[in-house]
Amino acid sequence: MHKRLHLGKHDKKKKNDVDMKIAVIGLGFVGLSLTAVLSSKGYKTIGIDVDKTKCRNISQGISTFFEPELEKMLNDGLKNGLRISDDFSLIKDCDYIFVTVGTPQRPNGAIDLSMIKNAVTSVAKIIRSNKNNPIILIKSTVIPGTMKDVILPILEKISHKKAGKDFGLISNPEFLQESSAIRDTKFPHAVVLGGYKTKYMIKAKKFFEKLHKKTPIIVTNHQTAEMIKYANNSFLATKISFINQLSNICQRIPGANIDDVAKTIGLDPRIGKLFLRAGPGYGGSCLPKDMKALIKFSKSTGIKPILLDAVEETNSRQLKQIITLLEKKLGNISSKQITILGTAFKPETDDIRDSVAIELIKKLLKKKARIIVHDPKAIENTKKVFGKKISYESSIGDSLEKSQCAIIMTEWKSFRKINNNLLKKMKRKLLIDCRRMLWDRKFDVDYNALGMGKEI
């Protein structure tokens, strides 16, 4: 355990921003977004990843995933001297080292710390011979206690140095949304810094105050910072499950409109309008994983998370609502041709991790349905999951050819182009709109929108 330091005057020698070196370890969604933004702002930045192919692509200005504005920002950074490598020794003289590697979910719901353990082990080996005193910031999502009980001991044991004296160690959770990662990186709603009130915390706070002017900086301890990230995501998941529960009720009330309900309650400042968009359930790389991890962690502390369990159960039931409606309309769906419009978990991304659409396809395949999918960005990632088990089409029209039902799962703008001419291609004209994108149109089909009670 490192002790709190009483600070006097700051060192006379201060490194200018232009001389400051920053390393980002792990070039996934969070790491590459951060690397691109920092380097585009002129900071001397080094991006590190163990995947050599990924490093080669990024060095050429090619992102390994789709995110609006990312490649432009990345190429701006490369023009400013951004360096990408798999060589950890390049972090040796860095002033700030951000660790942004993944903490995926284990089958039992707990998080897998193997990647972050490997990353901090590599960092510890390098800083062992450092002359300067770097600040290590952990952006990876970890359960409360991980910094003190896992990461700190690894760093101190292998580096033979003391946190708070020879290097700084700070929890710095991220709050990025896919499809707006660059904006969220540049203009975060808050910056959380968890750790002890050492000279390194003061230095980090000043760095972020300059980087993000007018953004609130929350300084707290490690455990609280770790908990903030889970609290944030679990509350967002709760809002989604809440509005989805109301959506199911509205669907049973003739003429009821869940969007009008959500819009109106969202005007109440105590509630807020965000994450009140009813749909087939939450997905993506964060909410499902973090909910399961928090539930698992809560139970390990002796707390039964009744509300969190209900949120997760409500989310899983949304998928059953779609299948129940489908079978009500088609009967036995074995050998029925069903079109899935959208496999990305949200628009403007190619990410299908924990996508509800992917889970829906898996369940429909078990029922022997024949599946055709169309997605503007996520087809290649979808192929990695299903291969030749399903069919893929590059246009909406081709995906509807001879289909007996089309299900809109992702709110891509292009799906608003669906009209009667396209729907004529279907063998049976049944459309299930999980996003209510087309509810105000006149269609010559059996149109069903989740959350919209049909007039009697």
Active-site amino acid positions:
286
Task: Give the position of tokens 């990353």.
Answer: 119
H-type helices in 148-302, by residue range? Answer: 152-159, 181-186, 199-211, 222-251, 258-266, 287-300
427: tokens are 């063998």
Annotate 70-116 with DSSP letters as a single string: HHHHHHHHHHTT-EEES-GGGGTT-SEEEE----PBPTTS-B--HHH
Q: Which helix (H) or strand (E) holds 315?
A: helix 306-330
CB burial of 368-393 (b: ≥16 within 10 Å; e: otherwise) equals ebbbbbbbbbbbebbeeebeeebebb
Inter-residue contact 189 to 175 (CB < 8 Å): yes
What is the sign of the dihedral through the CA atoms of 180, 310, 312 and 447?
Answer: negative
DSSP 8-state code for residue 2: P
CB count in 10 Å sphere of residue 338:
24
CA distances from 406 to 23, 354, 399, 422 (A): 47, 21, 9, 11
With the CA atoms of 355, 356, 359 and 361 taken in that order, what torsion angle do they form, in degrees rounded to the nearest 10?
A: -100
Instruction: Identify residue 88 by its one-letter amino acid code.
Output: F
Task: Tell me the three state secondary structure of residue 204.
Answer: helix
Neighbours of 359 (CB within 10 A): 16
